[in-house]
Structure 1
Amino acid sequence: YIEAPNPLDPQYAGVIPVADVKLKEHCKALGITGYSKLKKDDLKQAILEVAPDTRFWDEVVAEVEAAATVLSENDMDLCRGVMASVQNHDKASKAFSKGVAERSIYWEDAETGLLCRGRMDYYREDLGIIFDLKSCLDARYSKFQKDILNYHYHQKASWYLDGCRALGLPANGFAWLAIEKEQPYAIGLYMASDEMLQLGRSEMRLMLNQFAECQNSGIWPGYPDEFCTIELPEWARAA
């Protein structure tokens, strides 16, 4: 990963922007004539004929994108802040050590025969614990508790634990590292309870069985076939 190149960076001082107006200004500065009606590619070619060592901004961007995944300055700042917060947190830094990041697993569901897969954020085989890194606006217990149910994180937790068990891998627990996306990037550490995992497992089983049934029958149910009267939502009535 690399931060997107900044045209104000001194190392790009001699690079020419590729907006038509900028290219034409450069043509004028080089003493090139007849450029007023030329299109971008022709403008660049006219410049190169006079100054063959000229670098253009779109070429710089292409070189960077070919070398690494490009992140915006804001995203890179967020990544650096999150990383520093984790490294400076006693429990979090220890959790994300001695394990494997982005470990993929593949298994066959015993009940349906479906091929299943998952990719764990971080797996500690020595502890049998799967760690999931989640960015959030508020890492407080009550707020992240709602995030778990709203975004179905508990289903994913049960899915990965069941996948590990199907492969004979240690699977003793699932933990979330919730980290806020704004400074000071505060961290909340949470272990999934047995009740939460059981709910996630029940919901996943229902969906997995339905998916298998649809695959076997070729029938994929959508919304009701009949018209129904649609009412105002409660919040609109209250207003």
Structure 2
Amino acid sequence: MQSILWDGKPITRPGLYRNIPLADYHRHDLCDSISVSSSMFRNIIRKSPAHAFANSSLNPHRDRETQTESMALGRFVHKAVAGEPFDDDCMLCPPLVKGEPFNMRKKVWQDWKADQEAAGKYVITPSLATRAKGMIIALGQFPLVQQGMLGGSPERSLVWKDPRGFWKKARPDEMPNDSGDFVDLKTTASVLYRDTQYSIAEYGYMQQAAMVMEGARALGMVANSFTLLWVESEKPHCVRAQTLKDEDLARGHHLNELAGKTFWQCYQSGEWPGPGDDRPDAEYVDMPDWWRKSVDDRVKYELREAA
């Protein structure tokens, strides 16, 4: 599908867009009416509408997101792997700032870093640059990457209209040329099977993947599969590729439908309830079974000892 060069104006028609800066992509007013990405839907499901609204661009009083090393590292690696210029939203630390060599404990460097972050830049320290280099080398040595897994068009934005009236958007890391096999790169602490399982569930990656697949099909594109390409952020920078199963993508889609319904109700009413706001009285809370069993077993043991 031919991509459309974004002209900086509100989007008025569905399509596959290129050159939308990440900060603009996340704006709720990217289109001529309200637009949402999977971040909103995932936060509604994982937490509550109140949490989703608090962290979104819909909230004029939201706190500025605190930049972490993992965020900066992930963004830099994504840009490097995509082969795109990184200086639009990443900034490598220069050798000197006002004559002072790199030292983030010094005020001059702290002020410089604060200025970069205020301008929307991810600051890449020398240690982060070294880690990023190791991750990029590891990715380049991974057989599936060598076979062209990351050979598609990077960071294209899918934008389409939901029947209820709002816009949806999705931004896979790699747009396949013709295979319909989408890939998303994830930096992680561990690629052990149990750890990737936890990350997929905890961060709602099924919903993110389902959103990409929905958008591709809504725009008439082939969408066959969605693969997560993991790379560890610490040595030995192991790499793992995992394709999501159709039945789980369907679950992600169902969760997105639930989140979309909830979002539209909240947006129209202006009310974004928290997890317990629908309960007029105090509720009973059940302790987890594992805790109850451990207490019961301990009491039984103490009673036997006393006898």
User: After TM superposition, is the score higher than 0.5?
Assistant: yes
In 2, Cα distance between equivalents of 1:142 and 1:205: 27
Map 1:197-216 onto structure 2 (within 5 A). 197-216=249-268
| Partner in structure 1 of residue 212 of structure 2 | 160
Q: What is the aligned-residue RMSD (CA, Å)? A: 3.1
Map 1:40-79 onto structure 2 (within 5 A). 61=112, 69-79=122-132
Residue segments in structure 2 that go unaligned for 5+ positions in a row: 1-89, 296-307
Deviates more, 1:141-150 or 1:197-206: 141-150
Secondary structure of the equivalent of 1:125?
coil
Deviation per CA, 1:165-223: give whole Å up to 9, x if none: 11112211101001111112111111110111011011111110111122233443332
In 2, Cα distance between equivalents of 1:231 and 1:161: 38
Residue segments in structure 1 that go unaligned for 5+ positions in a row: 23-56
Instruction: Give 2:149's match in structure 1, choosing from 95, 99, 116.
Output: 95
In 2, Cα distance between equivalents of 1:16 and 1:220: 48
Secondary structure of the equivalent of 1:5?
coil
Deviates more, 1:152-161 or 1:218-227: 218-227
Contact 1:5 1:61 in 2 (8 A): no
In 2, Cα distance between equivalents of 1:16 and 1:231: 57
The yes-or-no answer on 1:3 pairing with 2:119 is: no
In 2, Cα distance between equivalents of 1:16 and 1:169: 52
The yes-or-no answer on 1:85 pairing with 2:138 is: yes
Secondary structure of the equivalent of 2:179?
coil
2:208 aligned partner, one-letter code = K
Contact 1:173 1:192 in 2 (8 A): yes
Distance 1:15 1:208, change over 3 A: same
1:96 aligned partner, one-letter code = L
Q: Which is greater in Rg?
A: 1
1:226 aligned partner, one-letter code = D
In 1, Cα distance between equivalents of 2:260 and 2:93: 41
How far has the Cα of 1:70 moved from its partner? 3.1
| Partner in structure 1 of residue 174 of structure 2 | 122
Distance 1:163 1:16, change over 3 A: closer
Secondary structure of the equivalent of 1:188?
strand
Q: Percent of aligned positions with the same letter in both sequences?
A: 28
In 1, Cα distance between equivalents of 2:284 and 2:136: 51
2:94 aligned partner, one-letter code = P
The yes-or-no answer on 1:15 pairing with 2:96 is: no
Distance 1:210 1:2, change over 3 A: closer
Deviation per CA, 1:80-135: give whole Å up to 9, x if none: 111111111121232011x111111111113x222111211111131112211111
**More relative contact order, 1 or 2 (CA 8 Å, 6+ apart):** 2
Secondary structure of the equivalent of 1:120?
coil
| Partner in structure 2 of residue 31 of structure 1 | none
In 1, Cα distance between equivalents of 2:122 and 2:265: 40
The yes-or-no answer on 1:196 pairing with 2:285 is: no
| Partner in structure 2 of residue 104 of structure 1 | 157
| Partner in structure 2 of residue 169 of structure 1 | 221
1:151 aligned partner, one-letter code = Y
Task: Output the TM-score relative to the length of structure 2.
Answer: 0.55
In 2, Cα distance between equivalents of 1:16 and 1:217: 53
Secondary structure of the equivalent of 2:173?
strand
How far has the Cα of 1:230 moved from its partner? 5.3
Task: Output the TM-score relative to the length of structure 1.
Answer: 0.69
Distance 1:202 1:75, change over 3 A: same
1:82 aligned partner, one-letter code = M
Contact 1:106 1:118 in 2 (8 A): yes
| Partner in structure 1 of residue 86 of structure 2 | none
Distance 1:70 1:143, change over 3 A: closer
